[in-house]
Chain A
Amino acid sequence: MSENETALLERCRAGDRDAFGFVVKKYAGRASGAACLLLGCPHEALDASQEAFVRAWRNIKRFNTSSPFYPWYSAILRNVCRSRLRRRARRRTVALTDGHGDSSSDSDPVLLAERNERRDALWRGVMKLSDPFREIILMKHFHEMSYKGIAAALGIPIGTVMSRLHSARRALRETLAGESS
């Protein structure tokens, strides 16, 4: 992490909202992309990632400024998205037809950089995976975390990280194979 960011985060801790603005803008793209993957659709991605920033600000006093900001924020975002998924699952048992996740625009890779046909197809495939699979793909491939880091963040053994990633990538290959045939 740059010295610059440490200084910014110190200012945030002191209550400087402009400094927090810089931090938010720095991570906004990554944050909304991550929320989109965690939620499995782009509808609430912006809103969820913004809510997580608000929570981060309210808890900024508990943040250790000598550690990097994004992993800390990322844990908050994960909780925001998880509770939204839970709420959505509850709603779904009440109203089975809710339209979410059905339309093709739901999986549009609008948050992806340097798009091409292959990458678009890959994104759509990832979006079709189950919640835990999308989560671990996000951590490994977008956040470039090590198995050890993922295990610590999710509170699971490294062996589980390995087998979950294995299953996730296998499921992804099956989805992609089904698509092209």
Chain B
Amino acid sequence: MSCNEFNRMAGAYLDGELPEEERRRFEEHLASCDACRTELAELKRLTEDLNMMRFKEPGDEELQRYWAGVYNRLERGIGWILLSAGAILTLCYGAFKIVEEMIRDPAISVILKVGVCALIAGLVVLFVSLLRERLVVRKVDRYSREVER
């Protein structure tokens, strides 16, 4: 084994991830090469330091605040759904009423009637397309990568 090869394997050796056969060759080189022994000792120190690192456990108050942050967002999510559903229903109802009145009113010109109908139809198409895009993005972004794992 060359010093170069030794170097590339040193991390895996310290992590206990070298297969038996490679570990044997690694240790043979280790016994015969001073430079690599020094090198390994240094890397070992770093690896052990890294292994000792831990994340701090937050205090009770911090945890309470953290959970409150998550909880509020859960609630807000439901709030948004209700709000959007309500808004869509109200708008649809309003639009329907306006069209109904206009069509009945002989004083309004046909061109204006067609115009308003096209406007509303356009809004509906755009809305549906946006909604579909969002749902597709969500599916790709969320389900395929995160949840299947």
Contacts and interface: CB of A to CB of B under 8 A. Distances in A.
Contact of A25 (B54, B67, B74): B67
B56 A46 contact: no
Contacts of B63: 25, 28
Interface stretch (B9-17, B106-114, B121-129): B9-17
A177 B133 CA distance: 49
A173 interface: yes
Contact of B55 (A21, A34, A166): A34
Interface residues of B, number: 38
Interface string B63-97: 10011011101100100000000000000000000
Given A54-B73, A62-B147, A163 B55 contact: no
19 contacts: A28-B66, A32-B55, A54-B73, A57-B70, A58-B77, A59-B143, A62-B143, A62-B147, A63-B147, A75-B145, A79-B146, A112-B55, A113-B57, A122-B49, A141-B53, A142-B54, A142-B55, A153-B149, A172-B46
Interface of A: 17, 21, 24-25, 28-30, 32-34, 46, 50-51, 53-55, 57-59, 62-63, 72, 75-76, 79, 83, 110-114, 118-119, 122-123, 137, 140-142, 144, 146-147, 153, 162-163, 165-166, 169, 172-173, 176
